[in-house]
Structure 1
Amino acid sequence: MAGPEASPSARVATASDVDRIAAVLARAFEDDPVWSWILPDEASRPRRLAAAFAILLREVHLRHGASEHSGRFDDIESAALWDPPGAWRLPLATQARQLVPFVRAFGTRLPAALRALGRIERHHPKEPHWYLAYLGTDPQAQGNGLGSVLLRSRLDRCDEAGTPAYLESSKESNVPYYERFGFRVTRELRLPGDGAPPVWLMWRDPGAG
């Protein structure tokens, strides 16, 4: 009989999952070009990434009840942080609450991080859409279809509701992966700063893919 590892499912993320999801995303994005540029010190990057993702989960994404995680044997090995239509822009009060924790997480690299995030936000589509802020799988669990489970969970509902979806890919090698799910590149956006890498803005019409 097939065990739980044979058919992982998407489960809604809750406050009790924050530390484990943050750790998974920190490992998933440790070699990411954008995060590597923002946090160039390899020794402190895992700790700083985990702190940043924990802040984002608690202050931004969990409140929507739309972020999900998946894994084999009911472990948390992959996570997708989604924001519903009209909810991707942070209220000023939320930005203010994040400031001190982000200073601790990013240190002297906070200005570079804010400039990069500001450039990305200025090009965020205005049309109503579901926003995939982050999708990451623990490197040791990659290749098991966990990211696909999480993508299909939300995209199937987007198709049912006739709602587009949007993401920014910070790795060019991931662009073909998202294209298989119906996303298409709308712009290659260069981030501000010396040596800053690009990101690929990707849009998906409902029913695509």
Structure 2
Amino acid sequence: MGVAIRTAGEGDRERVVRLLDEAFQDDPVSGWVFPGDEYRRRTHHRLMAAFTDAVLADGWIDITEDGAACALWLSVPESGHNGEDAGAGDGPAQVREAVDPDNERVERIARLTEDIHPSGRAHAYLWMVGVAPGRQGEGLGTALIESVLDRCDRERLPAYLEASSARSRGLYERLGFEFTGRALDLPDGPRMWPMWREPRQGAR
């Protein structure tokens, strides 16, 4: 397909935040964290900004050359830590304070996903992948993910993510991810599917 991909830098921050905000406005998990369309439109972008800053600092962001899609990745070391906030104090509480101090769900979602995150083995963590609403279905997200999975295969490195919808779970299964068997049912909210991918044999 020939999708041009590059690594985002600090100069891409606002573009990435805007893209993620637009891409996840209708996501079931975003709807749970920020219930109500008007409230979500006002506030959701702050959480996307916090995610973007965290990954620019500790991971990397791949973005298509036209800015229509991006993927946020972290390298999780071989340890008992999840990687998202290692060495940063109480990350979930800090994110809540920065994003929306009155919204307990901002902190809750971070703690719940931490609890289900596998530990022990080093892996690549796909925090999130976002595609502009008008460009979804073109294979941009798949191209972004496959570029990293190819490297994971060469380096014999597993990968991990949490699918936030049944539709995205199906996409990830086609890319070799498997449901870990322990779903995360958000309180009075949607289900998330933790998914793990072992490196494939015979990679290029």
Q: What band does the TM-score fall into relative to the shorter chain?
A: 0.7 to 0.9
Between the aligned partners of 1:145 and 1:201, the Cα distance in structure 2 is 22
Q: CA deviation at 1:92?
A: 4.7
Q: CA deviation at 1:98?
A: 7.6
- Alignment of 1:28 with 2:19, yes or no, is no
Q: Which residue of 2 aligns with 1:3?
A: none
- Alignment of 1:188 with 2:183, yes or no, is yes
Change (3 A) 1:47 1:17: farther
Q: Which residue of 2 aligns with 1:16?
A: 11
- Say if 2:92 and 2:111, in contact at 8 Å, map to a contact too: no
Q: Which residue of 1 aligns with 2:34?
A: 39
Between the aligned partners of 1:8 and 1:35, the Cα distance in structure 2 is 28
Between the aligned partners of 2:115 and 2:168, the Cα distance in structure 1 is 22
**Gaps (5+ residues) in structure 2?**
none
Between the aligned partners of 1:115 and 1:131, the Cα distance in structure 2 is 20
Q: Higher helix share goes to which structure?
A: 1
Between the aligned partners of 1:96 and 1:170, the Cα distance in structure 2 is 21
Q: CA deviation at 1:173?
A: 1.5
SS of structure 1 residue aligned to 2:88: helix
Extract structure 1 runs of 4+ deviating beyond 6 A: none
Q: CA deviation at 1:65?
A: 5.0
2:171 to 167, 177, 189: 177
Q: CA deviation at 1:104?
A: 5.2
- Say if 1:13 and 1:65, in contact at 8 Å, map to a contact too: no
User: How much identity, in percent, do the aligned residues show?
Assistant: 33
Change (3 A) 1:144 1:120: same
- Alignment of 1:200 with 2:193, yes or no, is yes
- Alignment of 1:118 with 2:114, yes or no, is no
Q: CA deviation at 1:206?
A: 0.2
2:142 to 148, 162, 184: 148
**Gaps (5+ residues) in structure 1?**
1-5
Equivalent pairs counted in the alignment come to 196
TM-score, normalised with respect to structure 2 = 0.87
